[in-house]
Structures are given as C-alpha cells and as structure tokens.
C-alpha cells in the first residue's frame, strides 16, 4: 500500500500524453494529489499547484509518484537529482515504469540510508495464494472486453464513482500499474506467476459486506491470444456476480495483432458468461460500455442506442454519458 | 536443455510412488537413462542397472536427475553427500523439486567450483517473448482436460510414441516439471510470468516441417478456477490444429475444489474449440482420451465405447488400449 497523498512528478514530459498516469490520478483520485512537480521544459499540466518538495511536504504529501513515462519507460538521469532529494526530504517514491526504482543503485542506497520505501508497482510485492474457489461474501463486478485497452479501467472507475455518489458501498480494485498508482493499491496481474494469477484476484477481492461491490479492473480479452490467460484468471479468480462488456468500435484489428479481427460483443458475452458461471453460477451480464472517444456526439449516442436495441442491455459510454444506466442495472442484480 | 543420458537418483525413496519422475523417464525415454542410483532403504526400483557414480560416468551418463520426491519436496541432507560427489565427478544435476538446487549454498559452491550446471526445472531459464499470434508452419496437437491430472501428459506421450513407431514426424512438448525431466527440455508453464505465458508456448512450438506434429502437454483445465488461465494460454499460444479431450471418469469433484463438479466432455469440447478457433480457425477435436486406471478391463472398454457412440469421436485409454485410434484421427486432419 502506497502512502497518500501524493506529489505528482511530471518531470520533463515532452507532451501531455506522456503524463497519462498523473492524469489518471488527477481525474479519479484528485484528493490523493496535493500538487505537481514540473521540471524545465515540461509540456504537461494537471492544473494542480506547482510545488517544491518542501512545499509539498508541508502540505502533507507522503509519496512522490512518477506520473510520467519517458520513451522506453526508463528513469532519466535528469530526474535523478529530484528523486534523490525527495528521498532525503522524507518522501517515498512510487513508479510503474519498466525500469525499476530498486534497480538504480543510487536510489536504492539513498532509500536504505533514509529509511524510505521504493514502490515499483510493476512487480508484485505480495506472495499470493493459489485460488481456492470458495464462495466469498459481498458482490463483484468485472469489466471484460473485446480487446485490450478498450476502456475497462475507466469503466470500473466510472461505475465506482457513480456508486459512491449514490452513497452505495463500492471499491475500485486495480489490476494494472496505472490503476494501482491511482488508488495506491492493487495487483499488477500481468507480472504475477501463472499458478497464482487467480489466487491474486481472490486476495484482491476478499469477503465483504453483503451490499458492497468490488469494481474489478479487467485486463486483456478472452479473445486476445497474447493475454487471454490473464483475462480468464480474472473471470475465475474474481468470481463476478456481474459482467460489463467493454468495446471500442473503431478499431481495425486486435491490439498488436494485425491478422486478428475483434470478436463481437455477443461472442464476448457468450464465452465470458459461460466461463464466469463456472465460478459463480448466478453471474449475469448487466450492460455494455463503449469507448466512443473517436466518434462525434451524435454518432456516439446512435451507436449506443443500436447496441442497446440489438442486445437488450443498457449501453453507454460511461466517461461521456455517465455510468448511471450501468449502475442502475448493477444494483438491480 | 539438460544433457542426456541420465543417471536416475532414487535416493531413499520410501515407496515406488515417490519415484514418479524416475518412473516417467523409465517409461517414456528409457534410452535417456543408463542406470539408477539407490541409497540404503530405497523402496523404488526402475529395473535399471544399479550403478555407482563412477560406473555411470563410464557408461556415458552426463546428468544426475533427482527422480524422487521427499515429503515437502525438499533436498534431504541424506542426499547431499551423493549430490556433491556427483558434481565433483563431472555430472550436472537436474531437479523438479520446489526446494531449488541453486538455493542450497553447498551445492551452489561446488557447482561453481567444478563448472557444472544445476538445472532447476521448476523455474524458467529463458526470457520468453510476448505472443505475437503469427501463423506457424507445421502442425500442433494439444491435450485439454475436464480437470487437472487426468492424463494429459500421458496422452501426449502415448500419441508421440505411436507417431514415431509409424515413422511419422512428432515431438512431445513438455509444459510441466515431470515432462521436462523426461525429455530434457520444455517450459515450466505454471512458473512463467502472466504476460509471457502464451509467448512461452509459441517459443516451445516453433515453425516446423509441414508434416511435423508437436504433441503439446496440457495443463489445468479451462473449467478449473485455480489454473484456467494457464490452460487458455496453451490454447492460444499453442495454436493447435487438433485438440484431444482428456477425462478421468471416477473423480467426485474438481481436483482441490470440493464444491466444483467436473464439466462434461461436451462442455470442454465446445468451449475449448471455440477459444482455439480464435488462434486457428481450422482447429478440430480429433478424439477423447480416458484415464481408466480406476476401472476394470470390461468397464474401461464399455466406457470408451459409450463415449465414442455419444460424441462421434474415437475414444480410448491410450496407455491401456494404445493410441492408434487417436493417431489415425490426427493424421487424417
């Protein structure tokens, strides 16, 4: 668990897209960020107060989160001076980069000397159990997709926010690096050892109040040949009561697989539900979440209306239209 | 790759079952074993010549394989003297135990001093790629099961033996520790990092002659909530042209999951084939392999005849009745 609140390190981000992680924290957990730290030439701006390390410390920040990715995911030498100073001033560091903080001898030495923690959320820090499949109390909703990167994390976050706005019990459960940095905890599922994947998701979504919902971030797709095993571990380890189908309609082929067409929403529903019922016979599909970022307003609404009619399920772009319809369907389960 | 031939170390095996790995090598790759090494009190016997280390060395043995498991999978102190002497006499060591050879400081020191290799087949020694899903040349057959431990490895080994007996091109592809020790190579799939599972199977079953078949050892089951993700990585990474369904009819519930009933062979066929067709639209189910070890002769034959009639697919216990029918169906693909 990463201590909050954060100071968001934007470094020398060459463009706003490079600061995707910081943007995610800004969008979804603004209370977790007291300010931003920008270096000369930084082209990203979270519209948070610019702070020095000392100012952030005074404002209560506990952890400096690397909210920016360089090309190649490396820890730039230009950043090192700030990171070392942050450790010395009492901040922990958190990063989702491929290049691990702990693999940098200077950062490691300073962290040890100062007693601070380096959080590399790309690798698991927990010894997960093997899944036992036992029925857990509380309710769980899992986002499953036609492809990778179609909006499963945003769907779960939108639904979690809507649940909380209604005063209902809900927890977003992160299963990827960005989600972990947004919330401060979770399972970096793509880095878990095969035998423990489903068990890590059981661990992430334990017994809870009967009226509490876990909103589980999905990963990959049952139809993506590179990552489908990760997805099935979520379907079985997550023991979902409800599935939300996620889709991005303008994609020409599966992400990273030029020869592979996307499955239909019906394919994902049939196969996903059949496999989910192995772990929870009462599982149902409650709705469809469409990522319409590449569509105009009218086209977006028309597409969702068409899916709704065709499939007989509520269908929205929850980030654009709100997650109300999906949450209505969820709490009716 | 582990150098063959082997000397099989049976240690102080308390009963024949404890020497399951040695028995697998003896049954499936007898040419890989020049002899056996037994300590006082050993209750297992592979019916191979008992040899001292020096005799085995003279007979050409390159690797001492730990063919026995203690309770708890540990490396017994009683074994250490032999293992150290073996390293000193020029043998490599190979083990599938949970307790790794490399984690024993004395073995590690002697191996380094003598320039010998410690093969811990429980952990991967290769940096596998992420699967790219590209079509590979050659043919692949994958065993998929209703449950774990229903005979998927034996099925693939039986079919591989039958193919070779007919002069056809075939390779058994090991995906578990026992299979790796039997053949000297393979992927310990249950220990691979989630993101690289499917890629490890692509790596294991590369381009080959158009008339060559890989017989891929299956793992887990699409219907086993603890391990299903591993199975799906095989279905997609293996890109199978043919599936063989494996079943053990007397099992009361899924292995390790008392609340879970086994799926039907029809369930496994439908879901397995649908998912396999994502990676290879031409994939077909060629037959059913039943593990009838807990049945009498008549019952075994009657059960297979019933399945054959019900499903319209060849059905045998390949270890008991021979794999001829399955291979007939395979080469007709």
Write down the pLDDT at residue B58.
Answer: 98
Q: What angle, rounded to 10 degrees, do the helices at A152-165 and A324-331 form? A: 70
Write down the pLDDT at residue A286.
Answer: 98
Q: Which of A194, A198, A256 is the closest to B197 by Cβ?
A: A194
Report the residue of B225, B254, B255, B261 to disrupt the A interface, i.e. the one with the largest count of A CBs within 10 Å: B225
Which residues in B lie closer than 8 A to residue A258 (C-beta atoms)?
Answer: none
Q: Which of B194, B199, B225 is the closest to A230 by Cβ?
A: B194
Write down the pLDDT at residue B76.
Answer: 84
Contact B225 A237 (CB under 8 A): yes
Q: How many CA atoms lie within 13 A of B41 on its CB side?
A: 6
Distance of alpha carbon A57 from alpha carbon A52, whole angstroms? 9
Question: Is A267's pLDDT higher than 90?
Answer: yes
Per-residue pLDDT, averaged over A229-237, amounts to: 98
Which stretches of chain A sit within 8 Å of chain B by CB? 130-135, 189-195, 197-199, 222-223, 225-233, 235-237, 239, 256-257, 259-260, 263, 271, 274-275, 278-279
Q: Which helix (H) or strand (E) covers residue B37, if one does?
A: strand B33-38
Is residue B249 within 8 A of residue B206, CB to CB? The reply is no
* pLDDT tens for each residue of B175-229: 999 999 999 999 999 999 999 999 999 999 999 999 999 999 999 999 999 999 9
Q: Give the residue carrying structure tokens 């150098």.
A: B3
Which residues in A lie closer than 8 A to residue B135 (C-beta atoms)?
Answer: 259
Which stretches of chain B sit within 8 Å of chain A by CB? 130-135, 189-195, 197-199, 222-223, 225-233, 235-237, 239, 256-257, 259-260, 263, 271, 274-275, 278-279
State both tokens at A96.
């989702």
Confidence grade of residue B36 (pLDDT, cut at 50, 70, 90): very high
Q: How far is A126 from chain B (nearest CA, A)?
A: 14
Q: How far is A249 from chain B (nearest CA, A)?
A: 19
Question: Is A273's pLDDT higher than 90?
Answer: yes
Q: Which helix (H) or strand (E) covers residue B8, if one does?
A: strand B6-11
Question: Is B71's pLDDT higher than 90?
Answer: no
Contact A225 B231 (CB under 8 A): no
Confidence grade of residue B70 (pLDDT, cut at 50, 70, 90): confident
The count of CB pairs under 8 A between chains A and B is 129
Report the residue of A133, A194, A277 to disrupt the B interface, i.e. the one with the largest count of B CBs within 10 Å: A194
Q: Which of B190, B199, B279 is the closest to A194 by Cβ?
A: B190
Is residue A242 within 8 A of residue A284, CB to CB? The reply is yes
Which residues in B lie closer than 8 A to residue A261 (C-beta atoms)?
Answer: none
Q: Which helix (H) or strand (E) covers residue B118, if one does?
A: strand B118-120
Q: How far is B217 from chain A (nearest CA, A)?
A: 16
* pLDDT tens for each residue of A85-112: 999 999 999 999 988 999 999 999 999 9
Q: Which of B190, B226, B278 is the closest to A131 by Cβ?
A: B226
Give percent of chain A with pLDDT exceeding 90.
Answer: 94
State both tokens at A312.
């007989």
* Residue from B143, B144, B273 nearest B221 by CA: B144
Tell me how far CA of residue B173 lies from CA of B140, B219, B229, in angstroms: 10, 12, 19
Q: How far is A187 from chain B (nearest CA, A)?
A: 12
Distance of alpha carbon B190 from alpha carbon B286, whole angstroms? 26
Q: How far is A219 from chain B (nearest CA, A)?
A: 11
Which residues in B lie closer than 8 A to residue A257 (C-beta atoms)?
Answer: 132-133
> Which chain A residue is nearest to residue B225, measuring alpha carbons?
A236
Write down the pLDDT at residue B127.
Answer: 94
Is residue B156 within 8 A of residue B143, CB to CB? The reply is yes
* pLDDT tens for each residue of B230-282: 999 999 999 999 999 999 999 999 999 999 999 999 999 999 999 999 999 99
Tell me how far CA of residue A69 lies from CA of A72, A97, A182, A322, in angstroms: 8, 7, 15, 29
Is residue A154 within 8 A of residue A256, CB to CB? The reply is no
Q: How far is B128 from chain A (nearest CA, A)?
A: 12
Confidence grade of residue B34 (pLDDT, cut at 50, 70, 90): very high
DSSP state of A314: -
Which residues in B lie closer than 8 A to residue A123 (C-beta atoms)?
Answer: none
Per-residue pLDDT, averaged over B55-84, amounts to: 91
Per-residue pLDDT, averaged over B291-309, amounts to: 97
Confidence grade of residue B4 (pLDDT, cut at 50, 70, 90): very high
Strands B118-120 and B63-66: unpaired
* Mean pLDDT, rounded, of chain B: 96
Q: How far is A237 from chain B (nearest CA, A)?
A: 7
Question: Is A317's pLDDT higher than 90?
Answer: yes
Distance of alpha carbon A214 from alpha carbon A208, whole angstroms? 9
State both tokens at B193.
């990092």
Contact B232 A228 (CB under 8 A): yes
* SS3 assignment, position B235: helix
Q: How far is B263 from chain A (nearest CA, A)?
A: 9
Q: How far is B237 from chain A (nearest CA, A)?
A: 7
* pLDDT tens for each residue of A119-156: 999 999 999 999 999 999 999 999 999 999 999 999 99
Distance of alpha carbon A8 from alpha carbon A190, whole angstroms? 24
Q: ipTM of this model?
A: 0.94
Q: Which of A133, A197, A223 is the closest to B229 by Cβ?
A: A197
C-beta atoms surrounding B128 within 10 Å = 21
Contact A191 B195 (CB under 8 A): yes
Q: How far is A35 from chain B (nearest CA, A)?
A: 34
Distance of alpha carbon B117 from alpha carbon B332, whole angstroms? 43
Q: Is B221 exposed, middle or buried (0-12, 13-18, 19+ CB in 10 A)?
A: buried
Kindly tell me the number of DSSP H helices and DSSP E strands found in chain B.
Answer: 12, 11
Question: Is A71's pLDDT higher than 80?
Answer: no
Contact B194 A192 (CB under 8 A): yes
Contact B260 A226 (CB under 8 A): no
- Complete edge-to-edge strand list for the sheet that includes strand A284-290: A169-173, A212-216, A139-145, A242-247, A284-290, A315-316
C-beta atoms surrounding B96 within 10 Å = 22
Distance of alpha carbon A131 from alpha carbon B230, whole angstroms? 13
Contact A189 B194 (CB under 8 A): yes
Write down the pLDDT at residue A107.
Answer: 97
Is residue B187 within 8 A of residue B203, CB to CB? The reply is yes
C-beta atoms surrounding A127 within 10 Å = 10
* Mean pLDDT, rounded, of chain A: 96
Per-residue pLDDT, averaged over A46-72, amounts to: 94
* pLDDT tens for each residue of B129-152: 999 999 999 999 999 999 999 999
Report the residue of B122, B222, B228 to disrupt the A interface, i.e. the one with the largest count of A CBs within 10 Å: B228
> Going by C-beta distance under 8 Å and a sequence separation of 6 or more, which residues neighbour residue A257?
A224, A225, A226, B132, B133
DSSP state of A139: E
Question: Is A76's pLDDT higher than 90?
Answer: no
Strand partners, A285: A243
Q: How many CA atoms lie within 13 A of A43 on its CB side?
A: 8
Which residues in A lie closer than 8 A to residue B237 (C-beta atoms)?
Answer: 225
- Phi/psi for A94 (5° steps) reads -135, 140
Per-residue pLDDT, averaged over A260-268, amounts to: 98
Question: Is A73's pLDDT higher than 80?
Answer: no
Which residues in B lie closer than 8 A to residue A190 (C-beta atoms)?
Answer: 193-195
Distance of alpha carbon A212 from alpha carbon A136, whole angstroms? 12
Question: Is A190's pLDDT higher than 80?
Answer: yes
Question: Is A194's pLDDT higher than 90?
Answer: yes
Distance of alpha carbon B124 from alpha carbon B108, whole angstroms? 18
Contact A194 B191 (CB under 8 A): yes
> Which chain A residue is nearest to residue B274, measuring alpha carbons?
A271
Q: How many CA atoms lie within 13 A of B181 on its CB side?
A: 33
Q: Give the residue carrying structure tokens 């109300």.
A: A324
Q: Give the residue carrying structure tokens 């090309």.
A: A71
């Amino acid at each position: 668990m990463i201590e909050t609140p954060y100071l968001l390190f934007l470094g020398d981000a060459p463009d706003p897209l490079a600061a995707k992680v910081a943007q995610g924290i800004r969008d979804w957990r603004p209370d977790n960020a007291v300010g931003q730290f920008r270096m000369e030439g930084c082209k990203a701006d979270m519209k948070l107060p610019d702070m020095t390390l000392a100012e952030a410390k005074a404002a209560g920040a506990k952890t400096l989160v690397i909210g920016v990715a360089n090309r190649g995911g490396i820890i730039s030498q230009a950043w090192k001076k700030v990171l070392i100073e942050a450790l010395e001033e009492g901040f922990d560091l958190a990063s989702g980069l491929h290049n691990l903080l702990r693999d940098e001898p200077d950062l490691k030495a300073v962290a040890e000397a100062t007693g601070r923690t380096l959080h590399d959320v790309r690798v698991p820090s927990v010894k997960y159990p093997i899944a036992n499949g036992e029925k857990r109390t509380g309710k769980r909703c899992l986002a499953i997709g036609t492809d990778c990167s179609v909006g499963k994390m945003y769907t779960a976050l939108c639904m979690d926010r809507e649940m909380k706005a209604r005063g209902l019990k809900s927890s977003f459960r992160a299963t990827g690096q960005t989600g972990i940095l947004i919330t401060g905890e979770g399972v970096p599922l793509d880095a878990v050892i095969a035998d423990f994947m489903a068990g890590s998701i059981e661990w992430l979504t334990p017994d809870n109040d009967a009226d509490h919902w876990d909103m589980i971030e999905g990963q990959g797709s049952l139809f993506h040949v590179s990552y489908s095993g990760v997805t099935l571990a979520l379907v079985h380890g997550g023991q979902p009561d409800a599935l939300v189908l996620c889709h991005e309609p303008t994609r020409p082929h599966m992400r990273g697989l030029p020869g592979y067409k996307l499955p239909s929403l019906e394919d994902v529903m049939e196969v996903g539900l059949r496999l989910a019922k192995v772990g929870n016979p009462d599982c149902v599909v409650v709705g469809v979440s469409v990522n319409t970022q590449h569509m105009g307003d009218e086209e977006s609404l028309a597409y969702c209306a068409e899916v709704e009619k065709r499939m007989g399920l509520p269908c929205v772009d929850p980030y654009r239209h709100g997650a109300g319809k999906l949450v209505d369907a969820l709490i009716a389960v």
